[in-house]
A and B are shown apart, each in its own frame.
Chain A
Amino acid sequence: RIMPVRWSRYNPSYLEPEVKKELYQKPLEELTEEEREQMEHKAVRPIKAAPPTLSSSVFSDPTISKFTNMMMKSGNKVLARSLMSQTLEAIKRKQLEKYHKAPENEKETIECNPYVIFHQALKNCQPIIGLSNITKGGKTYQVPVPLTDNRKRFLAMKWLITECRENKHRRTMMPEKLSQELLLAFNNEGPVIKRKHVLHKMAEANRAYAHFRWW
């Protein structure tokens, strides 16, 4: 893990907080040499303050936290988190209703876990290749460019959120619309998947400019 060092105001002697319970519950004999050294360090060196997003709960998920942060407006994390939990519950209810009404042989194909659906839908929405504006000779060209993992994840989440905010009826609630979009994306349908395909087609059309990229 690369720690942000350049703008950090902490003295370099400060250690990161360790939240995982399993490491503290291990008896002394099972620890390796490095871990024993680390434990001794913890007794002597000061430790940084834990950020509020760091949680020791078994149910915390970093992707879900990232998505909640992106949904948040003007710092209202309480509202964003409640919307997220209502979305997950809505997905679960819809899938469970379908599951209980389905005949026996189809029951295994229906996925009821909202987390699995969320992760799969995000993966289906991630573009493989992106476009970047490169200016050469006074003209700006849209050049196809490989994307990093972080950028892909960010684009998928951004598209989902903008889609749900803009293309819905005034009276529909966000959790309902989001659950709809996530279920569609899980089955590779829906407007977000279409947007991804449009981006891929643009990148394919602009293949000729690919050599403008210098990185």
Chain B
Amino acid sequence: QLERGCALHTAARDGLSPVPSQDVPAERPRAVFHTSESDPAKHTEQHEGRLYNIPLEEVKAVFPHGLPHRFQQQIQTFNEARVMVRKPALELLAYLKGSNLAHPAVRYVIYGERGTGKTMTLCHVVHYCSRQGWLVLHIPDAHLWVKNCKELFQSSYNKQRLDQPLQASVWLKNFKTSNERFLQEIKTQKKYMWGKRESTEEGRPLREVVEQGLARVRSASDAVGVVLREIKQQSHRGAFRLLVAVDGVNALWGQTTLRKEDKSPVSPEELTLVHNLRKMLRNDWSGGAIVTTLSQTGSLFKPSSAYTPQELLGKEGFDALDPFVPIPVPNYSPREFESCYGYYLERKWLQHEKAHTEDGKAELRFLSGSNPRQLDRLAGPL
């Protein structure tokens, strides 16, 4: 077991800079592609291509939703959560560290081809921000809000809009798990009426609004709207820093597959959740950052070869998100591929005898084209 772990492939040996002693502790020699640095704030170019560990309790607290399904299965099988440190993530972290919070929020759009690691980059950034104590508003997949909705009600607040109680309540539950202490500290600034009898007074902690949304599922979407509005208004004071992380942001400006009762199509701005989220993504507030990901996989009515912001967002979305900082995410570099392959070998994920040979590795590299998702799917049955 140890020989496989310590095997250094020639390409990796050339690419890796001399390793300082604290990264590879002498008492338990883990291979070169691991790093013991589990705080994303201290990740630098030296850690590029290496995998860092997130303790499992932290995974449950920080990511109640948001991790890709295959990664969650991998966490369960290997009993640990290892995320690779890659260049786009390091770039984003450097921007976030150097950003001035008095200025309006900067928008970052992570884009790339299918399966290159956009969601994982977003998760890395979310982990960093939650470690630094930011309030994280993580929407795992905006596409889930514009398709396959079983219950659509007319909103009581605005007659033209439509409510989605199920999606809103699920999101509120996960939001509560990840940001417990902020909900206690932030107070409402206005009185909100939920229907004829229930109301939330001014100055009550936000947790009551969230509980109201969870208890009365009918008003869950309005509760989400209230939460977003309060957070946005109070973020410039500096009591907390806000990160808005949206995965699949192109869903907010595309088309939906939902229909009203008279079979007419619903456009995204007629949905309360989408409307409120769009207000959040405008850069008219300060004291934080907005990090978004484009995603073709869940998108509606978009060709499968589309991956650039122009194609996926459309004119409306691009104008709404314009100016943004684009961050492309490429396939694995040779070093990252070595690292991933070594990790699978060490965790005994690659069981086929031929997978340990050079021929097998060359074949995996060729068949997957160094695409992370393809490599994961290929290595599954092997």
Contacts and interface: CB of A to CB of B under 8 A. Distances in A.
Interface of A: 21, 57-59, 84-86, 88-89, 92-93, 96-97, 99-100, 112-115
Nearest to A100: B79
Given A59-B382, A89-B381, A93-B77, A112 B351 contact: yes
B352 A115 contact: yes
B76 interface: yes
A113 B352 contact: yes
B9 to A, nearest CB: 18
9 contacts: A58-B357, A59-B382, A84-B381, A85-B380, A85-B381, A88-B380, A89-B380, A92-B349, A92-B381
The 10 nearest A-B residue pairs measured at CB = A85-B381, A88-B381, A89-B380, A58-B354, A113-B351, A93-B77, A89-B381, A58-B359, A100-B79, A96-B77
Nearest to B76: A97
Contacts of A96: 77-78, 348-349
Interface string B341-366: 00000001101111101011001000
Interface in B39-80: 73, 76-79
Contacts of A100: 77-79
Given A88-B381, A97-B77, A100-B79, A59 B355 contact: yes
A58 B78 contact: no
Nearest to A93: B77
A86 B70 CA distance: 13
Contacts of B380: 85-86, 88-89, 92
A178 to B, nearest CB: 13
Interface string B311-346: 000000000000000000000000000000000000
B381 A57 contact: no
Contacts of A115: 351-352
Size category, B interface = 10 to 19
Nearest to A117: B351
Contacts of B381: 84-86, 88-89, 92, 114
A59 B363 contact: yes
Contacts of B360: 58-59
Contacts of A86: 380-381
Given A57-B363, A58-B357, A114 B351 contact: yes
A28 to B, nearest CB: 22
Contacts of A84: 381
A105 B356 CA distance: 25
B56 to A, nearest CB: 13
B69 to A, nearest CB: 13
A68 B257 CA distance: 36
A115 B353 CA distance: 10
A93 B355 CA distance: 17
Contact of A99 (B73, B348, B352, B353): B348
Contacts of A21: 359
B191 to A, nearest CB: 48
A113 B356 CA distance: 13
Given A21-B359, A58-B360, 14 more contacts: A59-B352, A59-B354, A59-B363, A84-B381, A85-B380, A85-B381, A88-B380, A92-B349, A92-B380, A99-B348, A100-B77, A100-B78, A100-B79, A114-B351
A97 B74 CA distance: 10
A58 B359 CA distance: 7
Nearest to B382: A59
Contact of B73 (A85, A88, A93): A93
Contacts of A99: 348
